[in-house]
Structure 1
């Protein structure tokens, strides 16, 4: 079997939205991306048309299929199969990434504000989730509701928390969750970020992928989530970092235990206190952990 060198490669890979706007092409991607199909042999033209089940002429179906060949679909001597780029598009279509519904809701976030101890709210507005204290207005997180979670139904905060954690952890490990490239990390002063001046952050970690331009503004605590000493310290004190929502972790959700020791060069201290012990991490301007020190609080 050979891959076709098509003279009509269809839409540019950087313009998948032109593809999604056509129902026939989207249906072809769904048909070839189906798990029962993509792991098997190539699908012949007639069989693929039957699977898509659209009422169009064969020539019209062939035209739309041809627009996909080369970027999202591979044509072989035996038929058609989905390409890796097509699988990414299939997953986005299946998850509903292009079919969001406008919703608004406010529900309890399930924890007390680390600043004023008031119950914190989870506010959804047009696909965006804000974890925010209604009393002191501290904003713990702003994130997009994952496409697989129905914000119109009972809001699955645990699911969103796990999704957010995985994305932040990927950036903390210097792996872009969108394209897999290595992002850069820098420290920003509060006035260098797009957030309100009352954000109360001492500094922010800006982790940016130059390949796909995905980026996150993380707290210092979030930026070191992958540090083995931090994970071991929390585990030893009964705190599971993988299952606890980030906004419930004071060291990750606030800068209350962050101290800037120097700015040129950057030297930043983060302290995590649990059950009579504290772990101090020292990071530099690239968010690299320079030093770790654990001690009893009573001896500090």
Structure 2
């Protein structure tokens, strides 16, 4: 039992969480715990220090609001208080989304390889927390805006002290890591296990997918988190990109390969796909480099069921 009498560890409904945080004093408590604490020191903040930092003089009022947070966003210890993982995530999200004076960036040349035409007349532009990559020499992969190749969500803090090219590298790395997390069955936002749905498209069929899906991406994996509703979709060949066998295959032939780079992603577009079976779904994806090849076969849950390491 804490000083305020609240029980720790009880579940909190989403609507309750919103109401708990909709108060200046309560968020002040979270912010103060985050600002005072030292991540590596593991030392809780004392009651008196916390109250002074928040600037509340009425102990009864302070206890009331602190009690509302305990067990959900604040943890009570013998010698003080600390943020729970949920409390840390809330404050970190706010900090990541603020603190940048002008969170936008005019369109600038970055010169990365276009995944469609192979040219290097590519640009990036940042606005509303989205980094847009486009090619100025071809239609790109999406109908609008012209030349669009990809878009990455980056919190404003990600722009701090970085060049346009470095910001772009942040974007592709974040996407790669989030995609890997989804593939491994862990939602990168809340850690729940996502659902997986593999959809097969006739390559000549009209559908609402990006133009780049028309020729090489007829099998698409849809991942969805039942808890936080994060959704992720990508062509099935993306799944093999970070498989240990594939990374090893390229590393043995290209020691400087970077599995988190845009160039590596562009290479993935060259992977061959073959629908081995529709019922049950079996998709063979072949990775090639010069005269060598590696084939991985996936099932409907995007789990590897067979690996053929022999040159094809």
Cα distance between partner residues in 2 of 1:99 and 1:12 = 32
Contact 2:100 2:157 in 1 (8 A): no
Contact 1:279 1:294 in 2 (8 A): yes
Q: Secondary structure at the match of 1:115?
A: coil
Cα distance between partner residues in 2 of 1:202 and 1:248 = 20
Contact 1:4 1:74 in 2 (8 A): no
Contact 2:131 2:171 in 1 (8 A): no
Structure 1: gaps (5+ residues)? none
Give the equivalent residue in structure 2 for 1:14.
Answer: 14
Shift of 1:131: 3.0
Structure 2: gaps (5+ residues)? 143-148
Contact 1:203 1:220 in 2 (8 A): yes
Give the equivalent residue in structure 2 for 1:43.
Answer: 46
Matched, 1:164 2:175: yes
Matched, 1:217 2:218: no
Matched, 1:294 2:309: yes
Cα distance between partner residues in 1 of 2:271 and 2:109 = 23
Structure 2-normalised TM-score? 0.76
Matched, 1:103 2:108: no
Contact 1:173 1:226 in 2 (8 A): no
Matched, 1:196 2:210: yes
Give the equivalent residue in structure 2 for 1:181.
Answer: 192
In the alignment of these two chains, the number of paired residues is 294
Contact 1:265 1:285 in 2 (8 A): yes
| RMSD of equivalent CA atoms | 3.7
**Offset from partner CA, 1:89-125 (integer Å, 9 cap, x none):** 2322332379896535323343222331232333433
Cα distance between partner residues in 2 of 1:192 and 1:205 = 18
Q: Secondary structure at the match of 1:212?
A: coil
CA change 1:179–1:40 in 2 (3 A) is same
Q: Secondary structure at the match of 1:24?
A: helix
Shift of 1:29: 0.8
